[in-house]
Structure formats: structure tokens, C-alpha cells
Structure 1
Amino acid sequence: MAPEFEAAAKQYGSKVRFVKLDTDLELAMATRLNIMGLPTLLFLDKNPDVEGVEEGKAPVAVLKERIEGALRKDSIVSLCEYHFFGGEMPTQLM
């Protein structure tokens, strides 16, 4: 899935941040994110409505969707369009 993920990341440039996490090296983060199988895609968004966030602190991330299993670039792009740019919900993922 790595080539598909990288192709989707190139398509969006700086509009969407794509991050890979080595779950063997980052076990605490993998546990915190409840990653149980690979590959796992998490679609996270900043929550602008969180009150009491201290100045200089990062906004709290909100999970929009979790998908376990490999996807092709077109499906990753469709999900990004839906979650981040107001596109239509994908009806079929592959």
C-alpha cells in the first residue's frame, strides 16, 4: 500500500498531511491510537471548538474515520475529498 499512500500524498501536496507511523518503534502512540492491524488509515481533523486550549498548544485532533486494510490511491483521494473538502461520501472503496 505504500506506493498508493505516497501517490495520494503527492497529489495533495501541503493541503493534507499524510503521516506514516512505524508501530514497532512507536508502540506507545500505536496503543494510544488503538492500532490493532496493519495497514490502518486514520482520518483526523483539528477540532476548532475545543474550549480551554492553552495558547501555544496544539489543537485536539478528532477522529473522522478509521479504516483497516489496504486501499488504492483513488479510494484514499476520495476519502480525503469527503472528509476535508466537502466531497461526496465514497460509495465503493477498493
Structure 2
Amino acid sequence: MPLHHFLNDRFLRLEGRLYSGNLSEVQFKIEAALDKTQTLIVDLDPLEKFDAAGAYMLYIASEKARENNKQIILFCRENEIVKLVFSFVGIHYSSKLPTPSF
């Protein structure tokens, strides 16, 4: 199973594992995606394994995007593992997708 899957230039779905062993690869993909858009939605629901290191990397990527006047929306509606890790480390995520602006 691939770790990431682009549905379009604004939506990245992370699948499988996001943990300390593969953070560089995911961070590179996120940064490359941000070169193409102002707002990137990252869907975390399909993740099977997720740890605090993965959460912190997403937080740092989000802060870096904000410094460059861009936005990363971390989206999780159902994945209890992701919710638990974010709660543990104190990082906020969205459980609703934003209304598209065309």
C-alpha cells in the first residue's frame, strides 16, 4: 500500500504508516505539493500506524506553510489512532472539510 496518494493538487491522502521511520519522505511530498497550491488538505483517516513523531512533523510542516502564507489542513474524521495521538501531543485537526472556493 502506498504511503501517499494525491487525489488532485490540493488533496493528499496518507495511507499505511506515518512514523519516525518515514517522516522525510512524507515531508518532502507535502512540501512539493505546497509548491503547487496555497492550501493543501491532508487526509489522515486511512493511516494504520501513526506516532507522535509523525504528528510533530505535520505540525512543523503546517507552521512552515503558514510562515509562507500557505495552509495545510490536517483532516481526520474517523481514525481513532490519529485522534488519540493528536490529543496526546496537543495538535489540532479538522473533522470537516472546508467548503471549496472556486
Higher percent of residues as helix:
2
Which protein, 1 or 2, shows the higher relative CO under an 8 Å CA cutoff with sep ≥ 6?
Answer: 1
TM-score interval, smaller chain = under 0.3
Q: Please report the TM-score for the alignment, with normalisation by the length of structure 2.
A: 0.24
Which structure has the highest strand share of the two? 2
TM-score (norm 1): 0.25
Structure showing greater radius of gyration is 1
